Amino acid sequence: MATGSFVPKEGHELVLTRVFDAPRELVFKAWTDPKRVAEWWGPRGFTNPVCELDVRPGGAILIHMRGPDGTVYPMTGVYQEVVEPERIVFTSAALDAAGNPMFELLTTVTFAEQGGKTKQILRARVIESTAQAAPYLAGMEAGWTQSLERLVSYVTKHAKE
Amino acid sequence: MPSAPDHLSTTLAALSDPTRRAILARLAGGEATVTELAAPFAMSMPAVSRHLKVLEHAGLITRAREAQWRPCRISAAPLKDVAEWLAHYQRFWTESLDRLDEYLQDVQKKEKKHGHGKLRAKRRA
């Protein structure tokens, strides 16, 4: 299933909710201390030889993810909001297989205390594209996620044609 | 991959408009002419044609060249790229957050064992 545990919220966001058995301050640190972020960022088997985080509004994000086969995937971004210990907002460029930026994503991560545990909600949405596609992306808020899911289910049925 | 580097953004851009998605949804049920596609929308034929051009440019539809009424047909390949990207993006976050969970458990275990004493010793030093 391509969409898996992503829940489209209000039709335009990808939303992932997790409850961590850890205090909120620790979870926030795990997101903002570069050494800690390098420990968990990326799919299984990936390492992060470069992890530079200037954690303040306007500050830059630079992470080089290294896959199990040695391929390095650079990722860049900019923090929009940093409210300790409850909220981080950042933009990042989605890269294609060749490492070229395709379009920008806005990711919002919120942390709420929940009886000694931490409820984390991560929301991501596409905010703009490369110059070529930009004029058409203005209407992106209009529910593309749900539609994509319908289209994706169409594709999984027809892709083999 | 035969597609240009930002082929995916072109596809996403084409999908960003509700009218175009409605047109695609209609075409998923079978091919249709421009007149048939325009019928449910309060929109001029040129406006519908412009949407079709965007979809065609993104490779999401194909139009028969020979016939005068040029029926439109949905083309699944670019949607497959979108599906692949979504799957890749989902894997990135699902596995990252699994690893974050493990990291948090790990760090707390270490702190319970000997971390507090060490931290205090470090701070005093």
Q: Which of A81-90, A99-108, A130-139, A140-149 has the lowest mean pLDDT?
A: A130-139
Is the pLDDT higher at A75 or at A27? A27
The answer to whether residues A67 and A46 touch, using CB atoms and an 8 Å cutoff, is yes
Within 10 angstroms of residue A130's Cβ, the number of other Cβ atoms is 19
Specify the DSSP element, H or E, that contains B91.
helix B77-110
C-alpha B39/C-alpha B32 separation (Å) is 11
Q: Which of A16-20, B19-23, B80-84 has the lowest mean pLDDT?
A: B80-84
> Cβ contacts (< 8 Å) between A7 and chain B: which residues?
none
The answer to whether residues A56 and A157 touch, using CB atoms and an 8 Å cutoff, is no
ipTM of the complex: 0.74
C-alpha dist (Å) from residue A116 to A20, A154, B36, B112: 9, 43, 59, 16
Q: Which of A81-90, A139-148, B10-19 has the lowest mean pLDDT?
A: A139-148
Strand order from edge to edge, sheet including A13-20: A7-9, A13-20, A117-129, A101-114, A87-95, A72-83, A60-66, A47-53
Residues 48-87 of A with CB under 8 A from B: none
Find residue A133's DSSP bridge partners: none
> Cβ contacts (< 8 Å) between B87 and chain A: which residues?
2, 4
Q: Is the dihedral of CA B14, B86, A159, A101 positive or negative?
A: positive
* Contact partners, residue A130, CB within 8 Å, separation at least 6: A101, A102, A103, B6, B9
C-alpha A24/C-alpha A141 separation (Å) is 31
Domains and CATH numbers, chain A: 7-44+84-158 (3.30.530.20)
Nearest CB to A151 within list B24, B90, B100:
B24
Angle B75-B81-B83 (CA atoms, 0-180°, nearest 5)? Answer: 100
Q: How far apart are the first and last CA of chain B?
A: 58
Residues B83, A155: C-beta atoms closer than 8 Å: yes
Residue A137 pLDDT exceeds 50: no
Note the pLDDT tens digit of each residue in B79-110: 777 777 777 788 889 999 999 999 999 999 99
